[in-house]
Amino acid sequence: MSLRSLLNHCIRMLAVLLISATPATAAPQSVLPFDTDTWHTLKQSPQRPLVVVFSTTDCTHCPRVIDEMAAAVRTARVKARLVVVVMDGAGQENALRKNPHYRDARALYVFAGDDMALRHTVNPEWRGLTPYVALLPVKGEARFHAGSPPAAAVREFLKP
């Protein structure tokens, strides 16, 4: 291999590494409906840990919690996923896709149906406070937190 081709190869590899290491700057391109079946599907599909943050557009603490959970998932030693559900986001899909707080979400949902029924499907004890965080392990039951989960709970959840 010539020095020139070796240099070109190194430059291409560096470009690939930089692109893959750069965080996304926009939320997922599609906003999906969150209906009564969605929660059951999410609960039954985790091949890896799943963090679900329920939010509203007027929640002042939600962006910080979403960012905290995104950082925890990003730096975890296990491959975990982050999903965000915007309870009052129906009809605001364009704005949601542009929101930088959702950029690390694997999927972005909006409630599609009766809010109370959907909250009851997720957790009958949930009274609608946001942010509401569900930590779904690969095996076992979901753990719910109103507000930011304690750091120890997140560490335990994301440990290999």
* 15-26 tens-digit pLDDT: 333 333 334 445
Say how far apart CA 46 and CA 53 lie, in whole Å: 15
Asked if the model's pLDDT at residue 143 lies above 60, the reply is: yes
Say how far apart CA 11 and CA 111 lie, in whole Å: 45
Query: Between the CA of residue 88 and those of 85, 111, 135, 149, what are the distances in Å?
Result: 9, 7, 21, 22
Chain segment 45-79, per-residue pLDDT in tens: 768 899 999 999 999 999 999 999 999 999 998 99
Q: What is the pTM of this model?
A: 0.82
